[in-house]
Chain A
Amino acid sequence: MAKILIVDDDYDFVSGVKTVLESADHEVTAAYSREEGMKLFEQEEPDLIILDVMMDEPDDGFTMAQDLKRKHAKASVLMLSSVGQVTGLEFDKDDEMVPVDAFEEKPIMPNKLLEKVKELLNN
């Protein structure tokens, strides 16, 4: 039972993730852009943020993750993106450029998502 903010511009994906997370009794709010995401982050103070990368700008997710780090956000961040497949490059978390708690490639199996969420919430 946690507050989760999902930031992703794919409405279908958001509603899918929402259903899965709500079935595990989490409270989910959704933002569809980086700006909206930052606003809701301030408002809602979520425990966990699920963050896409390519939104209005192809690097929005990275920028937001870096901003969150600058703000010393307490929430864990799960970066969930298909940026690797789309660009043909490899991505993963790191301390500097991709300062998130976990990086997962889309698509993701629902049980794996729940597992990952649980793991991050327990930390």
Chain B
Amino acid sequence: MQVIEREKVKTDINDLKKKYGDDRSALLPILHELQNKYNYLSDVIMQETAHSLDIHPVEVEGVVSFYSFFRTNKKQGKYVIRLCQTISCDLAGKENVARQLENELGIKFGETTEDRMFTLEYTNCMGMCDKGPAMMVNDRLFASVTPDKVSRIIADCRNNFIKTNFPDIVPSNVVKTGPILESDTDKNAGLKKALKMKRPDIISEIKESGLKGRGGAGFPTSVKWQLAAAAKSDKKYVVCNADEGEPGTFKDRYLLYQHTDKLLDGMTIAAYVLGAKKGYIYLRGEYMHLKNMLLEKIEKRKEENLLGEDILGKGIEFDLELRMGAGAYVCGEETALIESLEGNRGEARNRPPFPTDVGLQNHPTTVNNVETFIDSALICAQGADWFKDHGTDRSTGTKLFSVSGDCEDPGIYELPYGITIRDMLSEVGGEDAKAVQVGGAGGQCIPAKQFDRKISYEDVPSGGSIIVFGPDRDMLKVAKNFMEFFVEESCGQCTPCREGNPKLLEGIEMLEQGRCSSSYLDELIKLGETMQVSSKCGLGQSSPNAFLSIVENFKSEVLGRVPQKV
């Protein structure tokens, strides 16, 4: 029996290698497909995949065990229900949904039903923060789940979704548009205009616009493109970072869905500037539901001669491939993303070299965020001045914000950089907030007394995540949720992040139980500072931010607690 399975697996792998290539970079897509077919990744599958790609079985296991979407456990239900446990869904009442799921299925989280129909798991942010609590059933997405909806969803599962009242894709709520979202240029205007421009002139225009990476790190887009464009190489790559994993961010999901053409325009412009013939969209595993739509768009563009061998008759060649992530927040970090594309654990690389210099398979590469590509396309269409019209000197343009938490109108907002938190709160209906988390889990928690601070690269930077905490929120619980997130999502490479985050979480638990001395709290604050300066990558460096800003700003709220009796 085992011999037959082994032979079958070998044949499958050989077929998949034809599709994805025969080196290690094919590892993730091959594992995805094998898991789809066999339901889990058995030790035979891991060994055969390893031998086939000339790596060691333990290296494959290293990869499989890194990404939360890969399973090695045979005992997995037909339907895997993943409930989001991250902050916004937590604020929206995920606890009640969780309880009801357990009640309906008669199992606990982490377990599978006797009949192998259902497995219950928690997952981290799936980009549905404005419509929490959210959950996924296999690749299907459910938003605003309430305890009473749970039984209906389970019934639909038992029916194999032959008939369901739940929509396939849950759109996001755009509350406020601005020049980017309203831009009503002709279809592909940016691309058409760009292809008539000289390559240095495009870079010059982007440079002039002051566009900085919309993912949060804020690196000038023009510099990234310039170096990769100036480099000589037979292969260059344009990579779209669609691994929107920052808790509280969902604007890329919306953009991927609603503004696909502008995104692909932006990527094609970058390809033209770099001289890249190949591009990848690295889409996070949680956005599997967007996969087919994106593949169709790519196909359509090929038919329309907007992708392929001779784009718009200009002799430009650019091919695009979609690669799925597999559930790892750290892969949003640029070098970790490239590692993942190369078939490795998503572990950040050493710096230097700096991100501009890091390439896929050592070839010149630019990695940009979804929004950045869209902005680039629009800047090409409408000029740098149009873009610079908004924002501040050092943070030009408008920015898409994903707003969630305790406010009247959660959703997507396009607002200029430089806006104060106070103004933003009045836009979203959250004036009574006691604090706002700006920039996601790795961002800062801004207390009410600092609401005049500006959201910009020079003051409070943000990749777009805004989470509002109402007057009754327990800030220690908030901090705990963030720390739980980092304890799980740390890639585990460097000591400060791997070991430091559990210590901070432990400290929060001590605070909860009212048994943390203020001198130990000071020690933990110092530890947080160490983590900020000595972790290897941006994830580790930003992981203590929420803890630090919460314990510092809400010290009297978190100290001296009387433990709650259960």
Contacts and interface: CB of A to CB of B under 8 A. Distances in A.
B207 A90 contact: no
Interface in B203-259: 203-204, 207, 220, 222-223, 226-227, 229-233
Interface string A81-97: 00100111111101011
A94 B200 CA distance: 12
A62 B227 CA distance: 8
B366 to A, nearest CB: 12
A59 B224 CA distance: 8
A51 interface: no
Interface residues of A, number: 20
A57 interface: yes
Contacts of B356: 58-59, 87
Nearest to B219: A58
Interface string B393-429: 0000000000000000000000000000000000000
Interface string A53-91: 000011100110010010000000000000100111111
B interface, over-half SS: helix
B359 interface: yes
Contact of B231 (A63, A89, A99): A89
B195 to A, nearest CB: 14
A63 B198 contact: no
Nearest to B357: A87
Contacts of B223: 57-59
A117 interface: no
A98 interface: yes
B199 interface: yes
A45 B152 CA distance: 78
Interface residues of B, number: 24
Interface string A20-61: 000000000000000000000000000000000000011100
A83 B364 CA distance: 13
A89 B204 CA distance: 22
A interface, over-half SS: loop
Given A96-B198, A97-B230, A98-B230, A88 B357 contact: yes
Contacts of A98: 230
A93 B226 CA distance: 14
A91 to B, nearest CB: 6
Contact of A62 (B230, B233, B352, B353): B230
B362 interface: yes
A66 B200 contact: yes
A4 B353 CA distance: 32
Q: Which of B222, B226, B233 has most A Cβ within 10 Å?
A: B226
B353 A87 contact: yes
Given A58-B354, A66-B204, A96-B200, A90 B226 contact: no
B226 A62 contact: yes
Contacts of B357: 58, 86-89
Given A66-B200, A96-B199, A89 B226 contact: no
A89 B358 CA distance: 9
Interface of A: 57-59, 62-63, 66, 69, 83, 86-92, 94, 96-99
